[in-house]
A and B are shown apart, each in its own frame.
Chain A
Amino acid sequence: MKTIFSTSRTSSAATAAQPGKNAMTEEIAPADTTSAPPRLDVSHLAKTYGMGDKARTVIEDLTFTVDAGEVVCIVGPSGVGKTTLLKCLAGLHPSSSGRAAIDGRTISGPPPEMALVFQDYNRSLMPWLTVRKNLMLPLRHLHLSAAELKERCDDALAAVGLSHAEHQYPWQLSGGMQQRVAIARALAYRPEILIMDEPFASVDAQTRFDLEDLCLKIRRDFNMTILVVTHDIDEAVYLADRVVVLGSKPARVLRIVDVDLPAPRDQITTRSLPEFARQRTDVLSLIKRPA
């Protein structure tokens, strides 16, 4: 697996080096060559939709970083601009000013080492493809061997508990199952950076705990860098090394809360720590405060 990841990265660097080609990322000489840049670096990012009279600034000025192997959660009220931020990070639309970078390379198109689980999970699954074929769609251009393709899909489906549904179509599944298919598709892609937009919103409590633990497990096993948008403060504190609290309109970072709960985390013991209660109260009071 490591080899696959490094191949995809070299190829991206090669694309970037070729002038004229539609480069995904641009090499920017890091100012400080002694320390590696953070995996994901968002600095003074702003996003305005539309132009002229219709211009609407959704994101004012966001700055935060995510280090390699870190889990960072983003919380904030509905409509604050969380999805907008993730789309900027995924290179789906350009930011209006400021910059987002991976390993010091400015993001100017979908980065090959990243996977995004969309909030509209049902619209992001292709209704004409079975579950397994949905998982395979992003893998086609990676030119994997048939064995590896099968292994990745089997593993990802097993991880979200949907091995039995592989030949069904997304529309034959419940909302929670569809959401897990979307997550499985991202897992099968084996990204280095996984970004998820409210990924556990439609699943039941038990499945939600399982998926949260799966998230922590893949971080541990693959040193994956994970960024999760969630409405659930408890979930954010349970999952994250740091919680980025967004607020006000247009969006700003209200605070970045370091979560120092012991690892490995456990649904029962971690959530019953007094420290857990204190951290969630911290975050909650930030959100509750009128903007």
Chain B
Amino acid sequence: MKIQPKTLLTSAAGFLVAVAAWQLVATGPMAGGPLPTVTSVAVNLAAVVVTEAFWTSLATTVGIALLGLLTSAVAGIALGILVGSFEPFRYATVAVLEFLKPIPPIVILPLVVLVLGPTGQMSWFLVFLGCLLPIIMQTVDGVHDADPVARDTARSYGLKEPEILLRVVLPSAMPFIGTAIRVAAPGALIITVVAGLLGGGPGLGQSIYQAQAGGDYPTLYALVIVLGVLGMFFQGATSAVERRMLHWHESFREAAHR
């Protein structure tokens, strides 16, 4: 997975064009409006990143998003394996899961704020809930995808059901779980920020809200840019972890040995 210099150049060119377009719009048609120029955002960004408050709020956001993702992964994988392996569990949960699937976690934000207040726990809980469902669903699919020959092999060697689930079914389901976590990762970040914006939870969301309330648009956009960069890192990091853990899987084999 080596990035070609040519690809890199094209990406950089695309990015520069986008920035140039922004600057043009901000200085031309929308001059004087709420859209700040690239230069003023850059100046504010430089000013913001030297403050301690910024780093605290960044760390809080990353911490909540990661913790939410991690806890929902642990719970989601465990539940997914139960639901996927045992018929009664499946029938008991299928209606609830299908009902909850299309509901975005933001819908229950007011309720969660009411119970937990504008706290880190509130943000974490929303992230946890938001990531949980897709991880359960994908784990169930992964469990069903486990090769019956591999299971029979383990069974014929006298492995008991819990050991088969842990050592054969779980690794078989890992490609599905990996995809679910990679897809959920940016979502975790978004939910953390929205929980701060709308629910008053700590972190970048709250900082953005304060900038907005104070009419400080350049800072607002500086924070939005930070968020974009953070999202890219999040995505990159989860992809890298996935690639490392699933190096044995068909879709990563060449990558691991090139």
Q: Is A288 close to B, CB under 8 A?
A: no
- One of B152, B159, B171, B174 near A92 (C-beta < 8 A): B152
Choose the segment among B21-29, B160-168, B197-205 that binds chain A (4+ C-beta atoms closer than 8 Å): B160-168
A87→B151 CA distance, assembly (Å): 13
Q: Is B88 close to A, CB under 8 A?
A: no
- One of B150, B158, B253 near A171 (C-beta < 8 A): B253
From 91 to 122 in chain A, residues with beta carbon under 8 angstroms from any chain B beta carbon are 91-92, 110, 112, 114-116, 118, 120
**How many Å from the CB of A42 to the closest CB on chain B?**
17
CB-CB under 8 A for A92 and B149, given A128-B248, A141-B160: no
Q: Is B153 close to A, CB under 8 A?
A: yes
Beta-carbon contact of B171 and A110 below 8 Å: no
A137→B159 CA distance, assembly (Å): 9
**How many Å from the CB of B171 to the closest CB on chain A?**
5
Which residues of chain B have C-beta atoms less than 8 A from A281's C-beta? Answer: none
Q: Is A79 close to B, CB under 8 A?
A: no
Beta-carbon contact of B155 and A137 below 8 Å: no
CB-CB under 8 A for A138 and B163, given A123-B147, A128-B174, A128-B248: no
A124→B151 CA distance, assembly (Å): 8
Which residues of chain B have C-beta atoms less than 8 A from A115's C-beta? Answer: 156-157
Beta-carbon contact of B153 and A127 below 8 Å: no
Interface string of A132-164 (1 = CB under 8 A from B): 000001101100000000000000000000000
A138 and chain B: residue at smallest CB distance: B157
Q: Is B154 close to A, CB under 8 A?
A: yes
- Range of interface residues on A (Cβ < 8 Å): 20 to 34
- Range of interface residues on B (Cβ < 8 Å): 20 to 34
Q: Is A189 close to B, CB under 8 A?
A: yes
- One of A114, A118, A140, A189 near B149 (C-beta < 8 A): A118
Q: Is A126 close to B, CB under 8 A?
A: yes
A171→B256 CA distance, assembly (Å): 13
A252→B253 CA distance, assembly (Å): 45
A138→B154 CA distance, assembly (Å): 7
Q: Is B244 close to A, CB under 8 A?
A: no
Which residues of chain B have C-beta atoms less than 8 A from A140's C-beta? Answer: 159, 163, 167
A171 and chain B: residue at smallest CB distance: B253
Beta-carbon contact of B150 and A126 below 8 Å: yes
Q: Is A46 close to B, CB under 8 A?
A: no
A116→B156 CA distance, assembly (Å): 7
Which residues of chain A have C-beta atoms less than 8 A from B156's C-beta? Answer: 90-92, 110, 114-116
Which residues of chain A have C-beta atoms less than 8 A from B154's C-beta? Answer: 137-138
Beta-carbon contact of B158 and A141 below 8 Å: yes
Which residues of chain A have C-beta atoms less than 8 A from B253's C-beta? Answer: 171
Which residues of chain A have C-beta atoms less than 8 A from B150's C-beta? Answer: 123-124, 126
**How many Å from the CB of B156 to the closest CB on chain A?**
5
Which residues of chain A have C-beta atoms less than 8 A from B158's C-beta? Answer: 110, 112, 138, 141
B174 and chain A: residue at smallest CB distance: A128
Beta-carbon contact of A126 and B160 below 8 Å: no
Q: Is B101 close to A, CB under 8 A?
A: no
From 120 to 152 in chain B, residues with beta carbon under 8 angstroms from any chain A beta carbon are 147, 149-150, 152
Beta-carbon contact of B248 and A110 below 8 Å: no
Q: Is A169 close to B, CB under 8 A?
A: yes
Beta-carbon contact of A123 and B149 below 8 Å: yes
Which residues of chain A have C-beta atoms less than 8 A from B160's C-beta? Answer: 141
- One of A112, A118, A171 near B153 (C-beta < 8 A): A118
A123 and chain B: residue at smallest CB distance: B149
**How many Å from the CB of B163 to the closest CB on chain A?**
7
Which residues of chain B have C-beta atoms less than 8 A from A112's C-beta? Answer: 158
- One of B152, B163, B168 near A126 (C-beta < 8 A): B168
9 tightest CB-CB pairs across the interface, nearest first? A138-B157, A123-B149, A124-B153, A128-B248, A116-B156, A128-B171, A120-B149, A90-B156, A110-B156
- Since A90-B156, A110-B158, A123-B150 are in contact, a sample of 14 more A-B pairs with Cβ atoms closer than 8 Å, ordered by chain A residue number, is A87-B152, A92-B152, A92-B155, A92-B156, A115-B156, A118-B149, A118-B152, A124-B149, A126-B171, A137-B154, A138-B154, A138-B158, A138-B159, A171-B248
A residues engaging B (CB < 8 A)?
Answer: 87, 90-92, 110, 112, 114-116, 118, 120, 123-124, 126-128, 137-138, 140-141, 169, 171, 189
Give 24 pairs: A residue, B residue, CB < 8 Å, sorted on A.
A90-B156, A110-B156, A112-B158, A114-B156, A115-B156, A115-B157, A118-B152, A118-B153, A120-B149, A123-B147, A123-B149, A123-B150, A124-B149, A124-B152, A126-B150, A127-B249, A128-B171, A128-B248, A137-B154, A137-B157, A137-B167, A141-B160, A141-B163, A189-B157
